[in-house]
Structures are given as structure tokens and as C-alpha cells.
Structure 1
């Protein structure tokens, strides 16, 4: 499904025309990764925008995680969605649906067919309904604009359904519920209201969203309706309806004589007054639809896409580059000033899906590309701890949850600390928040039916075993995953404690970061290799089959096998190499991961595996294996991602591959592999830049990509890693010489393994 630029779709747009080189949004395909399980959101939004305006497709038995499906019928076009997630849908709230004809029962779960193929580009979405209505969408940060064109001579309507949410068909108890709300249509024709909902992937309790809508055409009639059970819709004559429970649905139907209808809607987590202020400020009356699209394109170009420039002219590579940049900036949502939970002068970001997905490489790239926003995000995490008691590992609708493995916000804070994020961050509070994760077991409420043994909402639910035994027994679900990740989390505490001069704490947490070793069974074998992390209890190790032991919420391993999790504690990599039998065996073992089809590019616990050859001085194999994954599993089509985007996790992995570096979270270390392009410039903010050049390659990363030599900041470089201070803190240069065959260009020290020293 090719992306169509909005200026080729819409007639009458007055654009500030940019040259092809400046308008980098022309390389973004908003449908890339929207199918095949990628679940990318293709609708209209702004960087970190609260409004994500797009279609909600209904197809029985199929979850529309971001609202979009390539098939099905439209149940609405709503203001709120997540980006690239799995698990279960979230939001699909503040919805409109254009309808043609006389509507006698508007709250009867009406859907309309799709006609043709949806189209879209940055800041713009277009669809055609089976009733002949053309729907066009655009958005600001906290408001959205709809443009409807109806068939000439038809009765034209817009349905507002307060009870509308994205449903879930997976049967896991994660479906969202409408709990009640209200809707008032005022004499001037605008409407205000609110809806309360619960559940979704993070099992959130009740949350309320407020809305304020205007039509730029005068309605010939407007009516409010209620519907209870199967009794059908009942018209309410006074223009105001409310429901104290989800058993009574409410909505409104606006009818027009115009064939073109413009709708402008603001949302707020605080009040209808603030929702009205948001739409009046961001998309006031008289705003041209085209100008909202133009502003969106300009904002994406200025704030996001221009952060990376390349001289490449290959459209496939440019599309992968700029589409990936786009999708990694959809969430978290910047809700500063829109926090219903507490009043604070700190920034507020939420919609975190999830740090389990993001900590390995996404947050590191966010710091590189968006240092100001990233500092705000760090401050927001700490402020969530101040008021909610724990750092979030995931968060949506202003509630923490669900925690899949460790308390991986600890990794995020440690990474930011060692890379010099200071500004207005209160690091004493940040460290206290990390200590809370490391020492205080969270209450197991509400109980997660898929993992009832301990809390999945925040913190470390399996702390009792971790603190008392130094390992985690099977009485706790996901025991091995948690142990591996708790060790990484404790290493993060060691890093921050060291920097703050807390020497006793630093020693304690460094020792605890080695406790993953207590799950290492040297006698567990698979495919001729010995030694894997396995479940254990007081009686000893529990046998497993590393080729088949990957599991889910109630199992020892979460979403990956022991073949993956045995490599995850890279802060202790030197010791891990020794446990596996030395460098030669490690090479053979990594080769087996790829040759036997064990590697799974859809799963974050395997993100680092292609790059671990650097730890045994085989940088050439890191290059070849990671390039095979990048070029083989990522494509410029609607099914172009190997798995869920996971809030941009997949896209940031690809971006690091293009850059030629890979971050080791919680350390200042970046592993060196090989860049794609002859020239790439990364804007680091404050006038600083990282310039990456290569000679001898094919200029597109398809061949001749082995490193022959490297200069860092104009000086010859002989180690296969570098640090934040080398090229990111103040900017720098990387000059690669590439070639068709591997050569031994490294003679320096191997990457650090701080816990092994």
C-alpha cells in the first residue's frame, strides 16, 4: 500500500512548498508496519501528541490494536490510540462516525463498510466509506479536525458515541469497558461531555476523558440519545444526557444539509473546559483543514525528521530511515498540564508501552535525538514515583501496568545518569525511586488473572525470593526472566549509587547484579552446548528444553527461550564468556543461534544477540549477522516489520543498525558495527553534531559493508566500541573505510564488563 502525499490527494491545499531535500516527510510511509502484526498507527498525529486521530476498524475475532485493520468495517474515527502495541487494544475513545440517511437507532453498534483503500501521509489520513462519504483527518497535539464530504443530495449525519472503545476478542479479560459519562449539546451547536472507561492491556481502573466539539456548519437538527440493554436508542429532548453506569449508553446525532462538514474536537484529561480551550487554541474556528496538515508536516520535519540527514538517494533506504524516525516519536505522550492524578510543576509523559520493550535501544536513541524531551521524560518518571509510589515499567490512561519482567525503568534512569542527563533532574529522588524498586515488594493488587502470584502492575513482584535467596523460585511466574532482568536492574542501581558517592550501596547492588549466575546450570545442554539460565528451587536446578521453553505470563521464561535469556546480562559479559567455555565456543554458539533459526527478530530479548560477537573480538560477525537481520526482516510495505512495533522498539533497532552503533543500556558503551550510508549527520542539539561517513561500501549497506579501518574524531581507532563521551557528549566524527571482505582491524581492549571485574 503506497503512501500518497497529501498534496496529491487533496485539492485546493495552499502549501508552503519545500524542496524534496527539505520535506523529509515525503519519505514517510504511515502504513509501513500497519499489517502483519506490526500494529503501527497510520492516522494523524504530532510528535508525542495526545491526539492520535484515526480509524477504528471492526472485524470479529481480530483485535485492532491501533484502531487500524486492512479489512473490516468502520465503527468510528476516534481521537485516541496507542502505537504499535500488542497484548490488547487501548483507547479508541472520543469517536465520530459519518452516516447517510435517516438513522432511527443510532446507538445500535452501527458500522459502515470501507470503499477502496485508505490513504495517508504525515499529518493526514483519508478513507472512503461504503455509503460514499469521504473522510479526511488531521490533528494538532490536543485537538483533531475531521472533514467529511457526503454524496450530493444525501441526508448527512455525524454520530457521537460516548461509549465507543476498541474491543478485544482475545478472551484474556483485557477488554475495555464503558463505565458511564455525559453529553450536552448547547444552543450554539457545540457539544461537551466526558466518558469513563476501564481495563485494556494495562488492566487500568476507571479513567475519564473529556471532550469538546464544534461543527463549522450549522446542523439542521441535533438530538441526544440513550440506549439501555437491547431496548434500542431513545431520543432525549433536552439536549443533555448522562449515564452513571455502562449499562446505559449515550450519544448524539447531528444532521446537516451541507455536503461538506468540518468538525473540530479537543480532548482533555482534566475537564471539558480545558478540552474546549485546547481546541480553541490549537484549531480555532475558521482554521483551514489544509493549514492543520501543513503545520503537522512542518512540525514533523523540524522537530523529528531533520534530526538525521543523509546524502543517500535510494528511496527504499530513505523510506526505512524516515518512517522509522516517525514511528519512534508517536509515544510516550506528552501530557504536561494534562495530568489528572496530581498537581506538579514537573513534565508529565505517559503511554509507555513498555520499558521491557524499549530499554535495550529505544530510550538510548531518544536521548541522542531529543535531549530536551528526554530530560523531561526522566523527570516525569521520577514524579510518577513521587505520587504513585513506583516507577512505571508501563503506563497508560495514567495508571502503571503491566510489568513483564524486571523494574526496567531502573535501567532507563541508570542509562540517563551515566550519560550525563542532569538539567533539572533531581537525582537524589531518582535514586530513591530506584531503591524503592529494589527493596520494597509491591502489593499484589489488583490481582492479574494471568499471573496471580505477585504484582504485575509495578515494581518487582518476586523480590522476596530475590532478596532472601539470591534467585527466584517457580512459586513466582516468569522466574528466570525476572532473575535475569532484576540483575540488570541492580546493576543500574550500582551505576547511580557509584555516581552519587553511595559506596556501600554500590557494593551491595554490584554483588546483587551477579545473582543471575545462581540460575546458571552448567549441565543444561542444547545442540551440543552446555550452560543455560534455568528455573531452580531449594533442591537445585530444574531441567528444561532450551529449544522449547519459551513461554508467557505464567511460565519461567517470558516471550523468549533460555537460548535468548542466557545472553541478557551483558554487564557481566566477560564472566558469561568464561561460563560458556571461552571465546571460540561463544562464536560457535552465536553462529548456531542464527544458523538453526533460533534467533527471533520479533522479540526484544534477542535484540542484542547479533552484536555480542564484539565481546569476543569478532566485530566482523556482528556486522554480517546484524545486517542480515536488518536487510532480511525489515521492508517498505504494510507488513514490513518482523513483529509488533512495540512503541517504536523495532524501528529504533533498525535505526541503530543504519547508524552503525549499538547501545549497551546502563553503560556509556556503544558497540561498533557498520553504517549503511556514505554520509549521515545526526543533530545532537545545542549546535552539536555527529558526522558519520564511509568509503568503499556500496552507499546503501547492501554489500561491501565490512569495516577495514575506522577513525574517531580524525584519529585511528582500534577497538570495537566507543563511549558516549567520545562522540555524543560534544559531538564528533566517525570515518569508516568499508570493503567486501572481513579484516582484523581491531587490536584494542574488548568492551567493558563491569560486573566481571
Structure 2
């Protein structure tokens, strides 16, 4: 449940329907959505979509990984400037940290962590933790800077648990602070060293930290910082040491720079009960960090002003792009809380690119296109097309300088590729939907062709040493030699189906650019998933499944109900053979024929639910419940699965996601279902489902809108499509195209009812199935 702010914030924000001239839809947002039950969402302050600074608490709870820094239970051990959201694998960032301590502190290497006296409070642009020692920590931020407000009560509890009425309080700035991992996979972050200095003449401190590893196995990278307090400290010191016993602790009190690989930071002691701390960060230099700070947060800037600006920004750039009428408050909160969740990462680091000089936009913290390409990137395009074009240009620019586009990227380093090279799908999707602007599409095709033709060298990943998990297609040698992937490579079957989809993306681009020979080549390669189809594999009255295949051409015996461990070393990654055998989304007509025709295909999709195979938290199965649309008159079953099997798993509450957010993949999934459409990435096709709201208006930019209305329906009981008009025309297709409703806007008018109807006799195209 979203907790309200203190009285002063209530006075600022409450009552008014608008903030900054926009309707204030942030009042429907629960920033704690998806923060429990494995959702891994970041609930702290993100001042704008994709802001570089993500300021919030870091919590320790035994040996549980805090992927976004936050855990609902445990001890707070710092408040740091950088986090990711919804990631798995291992935590990343948690750098440039501060921690308030009651009294003067002799040894800052001690465990300074504190329990929380009450649950944390937050809204967009504002975060508050009330610590057990009596210190209240309030946070707000901008794109590149953060503002802390500390309030020390008259009687605080000291580090050792006793009551203290001391007027002295300390802030510990810890350069060596980083989010740990306890999974023993070799993915944990490391602090490599840093530098710290304090200039007593003007009262600012600055420095940098060097860190490495994390889920993408990145080498050393630097983050620079610059901080100022609202009051001059009574005393201060720089510390350097290696352990909490203090035996190796060294302290410095002059203006010299202190550097080294040992733990490092500063301790600042004050007597004021209220203190503000401003911090700027940069990937480029301490000078740039100070410029970011002074430009974005002045000495007079307040928490309330920053929070109000953040609300206005989120309203204008994301939330107000989708307007609904006639919705319940629960569904409204789900919609807008989910919109927040899908725009937290990647991070827009344009102007902060430490990897190379250039004028192109730069986006980092891509986690991961394997997760997000199915439905997040297509919604990103619609809600914020300007940023989306920048993102596409950034992917191409990363290829231009680093040699490969990322499937995932963080701290200026590509990695980790889970299965396919899914930047290919994302670029193809943008191209066929007419994203143009300043995108160099010739270079975009060359970037995709690099994935399709050049095998990246192995990067010695301990979880998958057979080939690269850094970038590109690690199993490409088999793909080019055999037209399938042998068990010599891990995740062989999953890779084969995704490489087929990736090659279909190259076909789409080559066809549009007029590269006819390349188009024919990649269309043919996009059908290679069929080479893994064993027509003799059997399971639950069905024959034909995708299975591993040896170099001699023989199939490996495989139980279609088993994926082994479903992880890095297995033939199937994060899902099972039943799901992957339905994932040739560009070649469904051939898939239906191999499955035994329409009736058997429907029963095959039914079995995903009858046998409890489908898992809404696994991305490979995201489209599976909606494949009924490819059978005439069976669209109603897609709607039924959406409402009864998936929709009930979501809410705006902390446990309201059915799995890891995965960078907004899970949130965009439910938003598409609320809209009543489902995207097929790399195609212009959207499968028709059933809208949740009586009226929804989507702002498409440049004055264009898509309006979706329903009559005769009820979200929970009367949700089957009885009839549909698209732009005033009677519609009996179970799909619409980009050109129908998004390119120039449009109108979709549904009549819904309580009984299923065999509506949707015209099925979607199957563009790779033209060979019969």
C-alpha cells in the first residue's frame, strides 16, 4: 500500500488534480510495486524516465541479494546514488553512499547499519526512511544529482544501542560501498580503489571510486562524485582501511588527496539537528560531477521542489500519454504503477559517455533485450517515441565503437547475452514501424549483420564457458555450418529458435532497404528452427517438438516436459520444450502444420495450462497464451487466458508482479493486455485481445491519438469480443497492423459480452511461411 508523505509534502501535493499543467496521475502510482516476491523493483527516487541517478537505500538481510538495493526487511547500511531496477543475476551499483550515525564515530569501518523504525515511505520524486536510531533520511534527486535531508531527533540511539542526547552527529561517505552478491556464481561486484579529498576552503568533497564485475562481468569502471553539506562540519577526517577492527585504519586531516585500494571515505561531524547534503555524480570527471551538482541542485533547492518537478516530468513524459476513463482505482493504480516500472531503466547517459567521444545519444543499463524485446521496447516506442529513437541510435553507436550491439549492457560494457542477439529484433521492429529521424539504417543493418555473421570470442564466463556471453551469437559457428546448433553449445535449442527470429529481423530490414540477396538469405535462415523439430518426439498426445540435435544429424531423446535445470548449461533456457516449440512467431503457419493442424494446435496451447506448464514469470512464454488468434474463431481463448490466467497475477502492490520485473518486461506485459493488444516484435502485427477500460486514449505524439472504447463489457465477467470496428469499419480480423491504428492514430470500438463468440475469422499473417 502506498504510504502518504509527511504533512508538508501532503500540503504541497494533495488536493490538486494537476502538477505543472498536467493531470497529476502520480497519485495513482505505488512506487513499491514489485519490490517483494522476487520482483526486484527499485522504489527510490528516479527524477525522470531513465534518469542516471537512482537514489535510495541499500538494505542487508542475511545473505539475500538485494538486486535493486532495496529489501522490505533488513538493516539499512547506506543510501547510494546509483541502482538498477528489476534485474536478476547479481546486484549492480550501490555506489556513492552516505550513512548517518549518531554522535562522533571513531571507526567508520564498523558495521553502521540500522533497522528501520517504521516502513519506508515514498512517492515519485521522494523517499523517506526512519531509522531505529531516531534519524529520518529524506531523499530527492535530479538527472545527475541527489539531495539528502537528515533530521536527528533530540534523543537518538547511538551505534551501540544506548540513548544519547549528544548534539553531535556524523555522516559517513563511503567510497568503497557497493552492493554485494552471495550467489557464488562469480558475478559479485568488487571495489578496486578510489580517491577522496576535502577542500576546507569552500566545504566540498570530491573523488571517485573504481569498481568491476556484477551481472555483466564488466572490467574496472569509474564513477566520480562531488558533495556539499548545508552546514560547515564541526570536524572531519578522511579514512582508509581494510577491516572493521580498526587495526589497519588510517586517518587524514589535511587537504591532501587520499587514494588506494583499501576501503576509503570521509567522516563529517555536525551539531545541527537538520542537515542537507547535495551530491553530483559523473562518469567523466570530478569537475563534471561538481558542474552537474551546481547546475541541478542549488543551496536553496528543497526536497519538495525536486519532488514536484519529478512529478511534473513523469506526468508529461510518460503517465499522461495514456488516459483512461471508467476504471476502478485498483486497475488505475496497476496501469500507472506499471508504467513507472517500465521506464526506470535503461539509463540515459547522453553527455556522460566515458567510453568514447561522440555526438550520438548514449543509453546504458540495458537489462536485457532478451527480457524486454518481446513487449517492453514496442510500448517504449509508442509512449515515448523521441527517447525511443535515441535508444535505437545508441544501440547502433555502441556497435560502431565496440564492435557489437548489446543484448545487455551496464557500466559501459556489453554483457550478458542469455540466448539470442535480440537487438536485431528491436532494430527490425523500429524499422518496419517507420522509426526514421536521425537513425542511420544502413549502419543499423550492418550492426545486425555483425551479429548474424561474426562469432564473438569466448569471454570465459564461468556459467557458460563454451562461447561468449558478452555479445553477439556465441553459437554462430554451428548455426552457419549445420543450420542448427549442437549440444557442443549450451542453451542449444533456445538459441536455435531465437537465432531464427533474429535472422527474420535481418530479412525484414534487408527487404525494406532493397538488399534483395540478403533478404532471401536471411528469410531462408529464419526457417532453420525447423531443423530442430523432431516429428517423433511425443508428449501428452502430441507429436513434434524442438529437441537437441547432434552433428551427425540425429536427434537427442528429450522429454518435452523437462528442460533439465532450465539454466545456463542446459539445452533450454528459463523455459521448457513445450514453450520453445511454440516460439517461431514469424512462421506460425508452418508451426501449425507441423503440429497437426488447427485443432491440434489449439489443444497444444491448451495443454500449457492443463498441464501447468505455462509460467507467467518466464519471458519465453509471454506470447504463448495468445497464439489462439492464429486459428479462425478462437480469439476468445486468448482473451480468456489473459483475464483468467494472467491478469489475476498482477496488482499495484509490493508483491504484484508474477516474477522479476526484468527491466520493465513484466510491467509492459500487463499494460499491453490492459490496452487489449499484443505486439509481435519485428512485425507490424498486433494480436487483438480485449481492453480493460471503457475508454482509453493513447497520445502517439504530433497530435495523433489512438482511442479505444468498449461497451457492454465488464472487466471481470463480460470480456469476450462480440464485435469490433476499426476506424469505423466492421472488423473480423484477429489482428491489426501498425498502419491501421498507430501510424496515423485511429479508433477501435469494441462490443464485449459475457459469452465467448467465435469472432476473428481472419488470422494474422505468417511472413516466413510462404514456402508452404
TM-based fold match above 0.5: yes
1:32 is the counterpart of 2:69? no
Matched, 1:473 2:486: yes
The aligned residue for residue 3 of structure 2 is: 4
Residue 264 of structure 2 corresponds to residue 262 of structure 1: no
- Mapped to 2, the partners of 1:215 and 1:167 lie a distance apart of 28
Whether contact under 8 Å (2:127, 2:138) holds in the other structure is yes
How far did 1:232 drift? 4.5
Stretches of structure 1 that go unaligned for 5 or more consecutive residues are none
1:224-373 aligned within 5 A: 224-229=238-243, 231-245=247-261, 248-373=262-387
SS at match of 2:23: coil
The question of 1:581 aligning with 2:596 is answered yes
The aligned counterpart of 1:387 is 401
1:44 partner SS: coil
CA offsets 1:346-400 (integer angstroms, 9 cap, x no match):
0001110000000111100011111110000000000000000000000001100
Matched, 1:554 2:555: no
What is the CA–CA distance in structure 2 between the aligned matches of 1:330 and 1:429, rounded to whole Å? 28
Alpha-carbon displacement from aligned partner over 1:288-321 (angstroms, at most 9, x marks no partner): 2210111011111111100100113411001100
The answer for the alignment partner of 2:631 in structure 1 is 616
Could you tell me which residue of structure 2 aligns to residue 179 of structure 1? 192
* Equivalent position of 1:681 in the other structure: 697
What is the match of residue 215 of structure 1? 229
What is aligned with 2:160? none
- Structure 2 residue corresponding to 1:664, chosen from 680, 683, 690: 680
Task: Specify which of 742, 748, 757 is matched with residue 756 of structure 2.
Answer: 742
Contact 2:126 2:303 in 1 (8 A): no
Q: Mean alpha-carbon deviation: is it higher for 742-751 or for 312-321? A: 742-751
SS of 2:55's equivalent in the other structure is strand
The Cα of 1:718 is off from its aligned counterpart by 1.1
Matching residue of 1:512: 525
In structure 2, the residue matched to 1:146 is: 148
Q: Which residue of the partner structure matches residue 667 of structure 2?
A: 651
The DSSP-based 3-state class of the residue aligned with 2:59 is strand
The residue matched to 2:587 in structure 1 has which SS?
helix
- Structure 1 196/755 Cα, relative in aligned 2: closer, same or farther at 3 Å? farther
The DSSP-based 3-state class of the residue aligned with 1:4 is: coil
CA distance in 2, matches of 1:297, 1:5: 15
Secondary structure of 1:594's partner? helix
Greater displacement, 11-20 / 348-357: 11-20
Which 10-residue stretch deviates more, 463-472 or 8-17?
8-17
Question: Could you tell me which residue of structure 1 aligns to residue 76 of structure 2?
Answer: 74
Deviations 1:545-569 (A, max 9, x none): 2222151111111111111111111
Aligned-residue offset at 1:50:
0.2
Go from structure 1 to structure 2 and tell me whether the alpha carbon gap of 1:227 and 1:11 turns closer, same or farther (over 3 Å shift). farther
Q: Quick one: distance in 2 between partners of 1:659 and 1:15?
A: 29
- TM-superposition CA deviations, 1:221-241 (whole Å, max 9, x none): 111111134525321121444
The 2-side partners of 1:538 and 1:345 are apart by 47
Contact kept? 1:610, 1:626, Cα under 8 Å = yes
Deviation at 1:17, TM superposition (A): 3.6
1:626 equivalent in alignment to 2:642: yes
Shift of 1:16: 9.6
- CA deviations on 1:132-189 (whole Å, 9 max, x unpaired) are 1001111111111111100224421110000000000111111100000001111122
Matched, 1:594 2:609: yes
Q: Which residue of 1 aligns with 2:457?
A: 443
For residue 710 of structure 1, the aligned residue among 693, 704, 724 is 724
Which has the higher mean CA deviation after the structures are superposed, 666-675 or 148-157? 148-157
Q: Deviations over 1:404-437 (max 9, x none)?
A: 0010000000000000001100001000000000
Q: CA deviation at 1:754?
A: 3.1
Q: Distance in 2 between matches of 1:218 and 1:244?
A: 27
* DSSP-derived class of the 2:682 partner: coil
How far, CA to CA, are the matches of 1:16 and 1:282 in structure 2? 28
In structure 2, relative to structure 1, the CA distance for the partners of 1:493 and 1:630 (3 Å cut) is: same
| Counterparts of 2:683 and 2:759, CA distance in 1 | 24
Q: d(CA) in 2 for partners of 1:19 and 1:430? A: 41
Distance 2:729 2:515 in 1: 37
Structure 2 contact 4–10 (Cα < 8 Å) conserved: no
Distance 1:11 1:532, change over 3 A: closer
Larger displacement relative to structure 2 (109-118 or 290-299): 109-118
Q: Given the alignment of the two structures, is residue 132 of structure 1 paired with residue 134 of structure 2, yes or no?
A: yes
Deviation at 1:12, TM superposition (A): 6.8
Residue of 105, 108, 120 corresponding to 2:122:
120
1:103 deviates by 1.0
User: Contact 1:41 / 1:68 at 8 angstroms: preserved in 2?
Assistant: yes
Residue correspondence of structure 1 range 90-105 to structure 2 within 5 A = 90-105=92-107
The residue that corresponds to 1:23 in the other structure is 24
* Structure 1 residue runs of 4 or more that deviate by more than 6 Å after TM superposition: none
Task: Report what 1:43 is aligned to.
Answer: 44
Aligned length: 751
Report deviation, 1:22.
Answer: 1.7
Matched with 2:619 is 604
In the alignment, is the contact (CA less than 8 A) between 1:224 and 1:240 conserved in 2?
no
Aligned Cα root-mean-square deviation (Å): 1.5
- Match status 1:638 vs 2:654: yes
**Which residue matches 2:54?**
52
- Give the TM-score, by structure 2 length: 0.95
Partner deviation per Cα, 1:717-745 (whole Å, 9 max, x = no partner): 11110100001001000000000011123
CA gap 1:11/1:255 in 2 versus in 1, 3 angstroms: farther
Question: Normalising by structure 1, what TM-score?
Answer: 0.97
Equivalent pair of 1:241/1:250 in contact (CA under 8 Å) = no
Q: Distance in 1 between matches of 2:11 and 2:23?
A: 22
Q: Is the 8 A contact 1:182 1:240 kept in 2?
A: no
- Compute the displacement of 1:4 (Å): 2.4
Q: Does 1:545 align with 2:559?
A: yes
* Partner deviation per Cα, 1:303-340 (whole Å, 9 max, x = no partner): 11001001134110011000001111111111000000
Q: Does the Cα contact within 8 Å between 1:510 and 1:755 map onto a contact in 2?
A: no
SS of the aligned residue for 2:471 comes to coil
Deviation at 1:8, TM superposition (A): 4.6
- Alpha-carbon distance between aligned partners in 2 of 1:565 and 1:749, rounded to the nearest angstrom: 22
- Preserved CA contact (<8 Å) 1:50 1:334: yes
Query: Do the aligned residues in 2 keep the contact of 1:312 with 1:318 (CA within 8 Å)?
Result: no
Q: Residue 719 of structure 1: SS of its match in structure 2?
A: coil
